[in-house]
Amino acid sequence: MAAANDSSDLSSEMEVDAFRRVVQTYICILAAGAVASADGSALAKIGSTTMLAAIKMEVMTPTVECPDEGSIAIEFHMPPICSPLVRPRPADVASVISKQLSDTILSSGMIDIKELCLVGGKAAWMAYLDIYCLDADGALFDAALLSAVAAFSHLNIPVVSLNDDGQIVLVSEDTVQLKLEKEPVNKEKRKLKLNSLPFSLTCILNKNYILADPTAEEESIMETVVTVVLDSSYQLVSLYKPGGPVLGHTSGIQDCVALARHRVKELQNVLNEAISDMEID
């Protein structure tokens, strides 16, 4: 391709290439207890990339500095099943994505950790979010974030009550029938209130083109990757470009953000459909 073209031609080509890719990607979420034993779970598939997210809630004592806050621990695993390039030793990519995910989820303000408090100063929820990559075919962060958001949307906080020793105990389904000694501590708060949900789009930058939502083959050829995370009010939660030979100019970055906006709308629809399917069950 010639270096000096009409900028208008190139930008229209850029749009067409990028949109084609975004439209052709098949997204499907199967929420609703993909993992029956977890308190919240979701299986997200974008193209071939498959992620399974599961949340387990445990009661813990909050720290002295923040007595009315719970906490969330996010871990991303890449077991060898996901890709021939991953061996049993934890891949470096997994640690980086894990850190990126926890930064994004905690700084996006999706979850107010004060809501995870049960009894101020004595008991609070600790949510363990584990995301397993089952099939790594590019754009791992996007699928992982989507599955995490879906899992939190599906999360059912277990009912607990205070027993005589002042300990929080889980109220199992059978004892609900019998008379309870104490009222459950959180009978009304079974679902977590989520503020603006973050959604992300990964793009590859080439000198003249932007490819949205790359597969693993495309990612292996081009080294420059940009991940844009927007929340439902189109605020920028994260713009992550971890170095690469192609430089990001303002126009390129704004194109990526525009593509991300489209993606946010699509993903919101898919998530809402999945949640409403789940509620019907």
Partner 1 sequence: MEVDRKDGRTANQLRPLTCSRNVLNRAHGSVSWSQGETKVLAAVYGPNAGTKKNENPEKACFEVIWKPKTGHVGKAEKEYEMILKRTVQSICVLNVHPNTTTSIIIQVVNDDGALLPCALNALCVALVDAGIPLKHLAVAICCCLADSGDILLDPSKLEEQIMKAYVYLIFPNSTLSVLPEESLKVIGEPMEHGLIASSTHGVMSVDDYIGCLERGRAATAKLSDFLRRRLQSQFQIDPSKLG
Residues that bind partner 1 (CB under 8 A): 3-4, 85, 92, 95-96, 98-100, 103, 107-109, 223, 231, 234-245, 247-251, 253-254, 257
For the bound state, the minimum distance from the C-beta of residue 247 to partner 1, rounded and expressed in Å, comes to 2
Helix 92-107 crosses helix 140-154 at what angle (to 10 degrees)? Answer: 50
**12 vs 254, beta carbon nearer partner 1:** 254
For the bound state, the minimum distance from the C-beta of residue 33 to partner 1, rounded and expressed in Å, comes to 29
Beta bridge partners of 231: 198
For the bound state, the minimum distance from the C-beta of residue 260 to partner 1, rounded and expressed in Å, comes to 9
**250 vs 276, beta carbon nearer partner 1:** 250
**166 vs 243, beta carbon nearer partner 1:** 243
Distances (CA, A) of 36 to 15, 29, 60, 122, 275: 42, 16, 23, 29, 16
For the bound state, the minimum distance from the C-beta of residue 109 to partner 1, rounded and expressed in Å, comes to 6
Instruction: Output the six-digit token pair for 114.
Output: 């004060």
Instruction: Output the six-digit token pair for 249.
Output: 């100019």
**195 vs 269, beta carbon nearer partner 1:** 195
Selection from 197, 206, 180, 267 nearest residue 232 by Cα: 197
Task: Report the C-alpha gap between 204 and 223 in whole angstroms.
Answer: 8
